[in-house]
Structure 1
Amino acid sequence: MASDPQEISPHAEEEIEETPGYKPPAEKSLAEIQQLDDEDESLKKYKETLLGTNLATGIDDPRKVIVEKMCLVVEGRPDVELALTGDLSVLKSSPFVIKEGTEYRIKILFRIQHEIVCGLKYHQLTYRKGIRVDKTHFMVGSYGPKAELQFYQTPAEEAPKGMVARGHYTVKSKFIDDDKNDHLSWEWAFDIKKDWQ
């Protein structure tokens, strides 16, 4: 967590850092990719390894990415889960409790359907008493459609410690892709406490 608080600018939530010189690849449909070099048997097997054979069709749902859950992962403790498919406005009123100084990770479970999604990113802004105290941006990767859930887990972070760090934090999260499609935005909260209770 960053130690220098910054005032919130009117466009703070829109400030998503780009990788200098990176240009997203041209979008191709799944059918186009599967038909490319169809006569090359080794490439065909490689594509099956990457994409699998059990592709999600999602006939009733037009979304390419469905973000289903977020978990707080702490070694030696059961994961704490937040469902991201219902009423997201209730998440801020049910904060995670994190013991100060504890190493934790955020795990996001999602489903990809219809097409390959390139350059998924997880973007997070953390606030305390209305002041932005941290801005984090993770490259999640590119994923093909699958019937089963896929997940991304952030690198381990250490919760701040000490009396000054204890308290209530709110977080604005986004799950976006290279084409700047916002697949899900949600707000949640956590409390840093002296102990888990």
Structure 2
Amino acid sequence: MSAPAHEEDDLAPTTTPGYKPSAAKTVDEYANLDAEDESLARWKASLGIVPGASEAPASGPKVTVLSLELASPTLPPGKRLLMNLQNEQELASIKKNPVTIKEGVDFNVRINFKVNHSIISGVRYIQVVKRSGIKVDKMEQMLGSYGPHPKGEPYSKDFDTEESPSGMMARTGTYNVRSRVFDDDGEVYADWEWCFKIGKEW
């Protein structure tokens, strides 16, 4: 799905002058780098980076974004606000049916993803929030560095805690969100739209 030029500008990441991403390496190449450094070896092992660990062919996307979740300690027991990004019907539904976020509470965005091959770094999540077509917020978060999980299990990343707006004005209208996950090379792993509203209760 291509976006108008002004929307692409909104989704542009923050850049650091002079920064150039390093050339991509395979899991085995990373595993054999500085092999004599024990502390580095332990860190790489925690990412699943060990010699011979890469059995899957390096094809297809490096990252599969599975779901996005809004997490909060104020959510009622058993309630979960989870968007399954692998379900086309659910994606179409969340674009039309706003998620309700309780006013004045702490919450955070949690992203669940799977690393298919290679080592990821420089992968980030950006969301732009608009109300009545006017940008009111932009969040940019790095996922961190990960290798394919040895057991093929997904990873979860909790982003910084935010406080939802409150008051009658905040409860009026719908907030439209554009979310994107991509890397330093410009490869987009997920790009979707959803919306939320502010309510007195979840």
Shared fold (TM-score, shorter chain, > 0.5): yes
Q: Is the 1:104–1:158 Cα contact (8 Å) retained in structure 2? A: yes
So what's the TM-score if we normalise by structure 2? Answer: 0.82
Q: Root-mean-square deviation (CA), in Å?
A: 2.5
Q: Is the 1:121–1:140 Cα contact (8 Å) retained in structure 2? A: yes
Matched residue SS, 1:114 = coil
Aligned residues: 188
Structure 2 counterpart of 1:79: 80
CA 1:190–1:55 in 2, change beyond 3 Å: closer, same or farther? farther
Deviation at 1:56, TM superposition (A): 7.2
Q: Is the 1:56–1:112 Cα contact (8 Å) retained in structure 2? A: no
**Cα deviations by residue, 1:93-118 (Å, 9 ceiling, x for unpaired):** 23211111111111000000110011
Deviates more, 1:174-183 or 1:73-82: 73-82
Give the partner amino acid of 1:30. V
Identity of aligned residues (%): 36
Question: In the alignment, which of 133, 143, 146 is matched to residue 143 of structure 1?
Answer: 146
Matched residue SS, 1:47 = helix
Structure 2 counterpart of 1:49: 46
Q: Does 1:192 align with 2:193?
A: no
Deviates more, 1:55-64 or 1:78-87: 55-64
Deviates more, 1:63-72 or 1:74-83: 74-83
Q: Does 1:119 align with 2:116?
A: no
Question: In the alignment, which of 79, 97, 101 is matched to residue 100 of structure 2?
Answer: 97
Q: Does 1:19 align with 2:11?
A: no
| Matches of 1:148 and 1:32, distance apart in 2 | 22
Q: Structure 2: state its 5+ residue gaps.
A: none
**Cα deviations by residue, 1:126-145 (Å, 9 ceiling, x for unpaired):** 01111111111112212111
Matched residue SS, 1:51 = coil
Structure 2 counterpart of 1:128: 131
| Matches of 2:49 and 2:23, distance apart in 1 | 22
